[in-house]
Amino acid sequence: MQEEKLTFGVSTHDIASCNICYAHNYDSKLGNEIGERVEKLYELKISGQVLTLCDKCLDRLREKLAQRFSAEEKPEGTYDEVGGYHEGGCGTDPDGEFCGECGSASCASCGVWARKKKAGGQIVLFTGTEFTARDKLGQSYRYRMIGAEVTHDGLIRLLNLDTNFLTYVEPEWFRQRKIKVIQKEAT
């Protein structure tokens, strides 16, 4: 069984410190700790490398990632009314996936996109898709689909566009909410 390449969780070590600011989860009898005392630390494992972070540094990392994703430049070309990108007969669908050569002036009139969008009678959310989710209490938030974690529980990673926080949800989360894809404006 292959080990996960990317995992995230609460640190279970009794003695640990943040790799960035040296915040620590222990009390020293010598009183020579560097950084502040915290109750909880997190471990981010990337391909065997472990990064231990406190809440403050984790939030800073989230902010930097959110800024990076929102700062992605859009290519020069035209966007149709549903958010598809077209340039010289090639382009991407509203989810940002490359479609190849296309004779349609708009993804709205494209048979391939229509089949993809209606797959199984459900909304299909691809990486990068932005959508709103309204819960039973009427609370509505905007999200961007980041991707599914390849784990035993199949968590789905979303970026809350209202708070700029990453969140992990189970597939059931989508069935408990009304989902509406946000159409990108044509430019």
Q: What CATH number does residue 171 fall under?
A: 2.30.30
Q: How many domains does the chain have?
A: 2
| Residue-level pLDDT at 121 | 44
Last residue of a domain, one of 44, 70, 96: 70
SS3 content of the chain, % helix, strand, coil (to 5): 20, 30, 50
- Does 83 share its domain with 174? yes
Q: 159: Cβ–Cβ under 8 A, 6 or more apart, which residues?
A: 66, 69, 143, 144, 146, 165, 166, 167
For 122-164, list the strands marked E by DSSP: 130-134, 140-148, 156-160
Model confidence pLDDT, tens digit, residues 15-62: 888 988 888 888 888 877 788 899 899 888 887 788 899 989 888 888
16, 43, 70 - which closes a domain:
70
Range of weakest confidence among 6-15, 67-76, 78-87, 150-159: 67-76
| Residue 160 amino acid letter | N
Please state, rounded to an integer, the average pLDDT across all residues of the chain: 76
Question: Between 33 and 159, where is the model more confident?
Answer: 159
> How many Cβ atoms are within 10 Å of 85's Cβ, its own excluded?
23
Helix, strand, or coil (residue 63): helix
pLDDT band (50, 70, 90) for residue 171:
confident
- Please indicate, yes or no, whether residues 89 and 168 belong to a single structural domain of this protein: yes
Q: Rounded to two decimals, what is the model's pTM?
A: 0.38
Q: How confident is the model at residue 77 (pLDDT cuts 50, 70, 90)?
A: low
Same domain, 37 and 90: no
Q: How far apart are CA 98 and CA 84, in angstroms?
A: 10
Q: Are both 87 and 168 inside the same structural domain?
A: yes
- The CB density around residue 67, as the number of other CB atoms within 10 Å, is 10
Q: What is the pLDDT of residue 113?
A: 66
Query: Domain for residue 187, yes or no?
Result: no
Name the pairing type of β-strands 165-169 and 130-134: unpaired
Mean pLDDT of 167-173: 82
149 assigned to some structural domain: yes
CA 73 – CA 69 distance, rounded (Å): 9
Where in the sequence is the domain holding 13, given as residue range(s)? 6-70
What pLDDT does 141 receive? Answer: 92
Domain boundary among 70, 92, 109: 70
- Flag whether 186 is in a domain: no
Amino acid at 60: R
Q: What is the pLDDT of residues 104-127, one digit of tens each?
A: 667 766 766 666 665 544 566 677
Distance, CA of 68 to CA of 72 (rounded, Å) = 7
Q: Please tell me which residue, 187 or 67, carries the higher pLDDT value.
A: 67
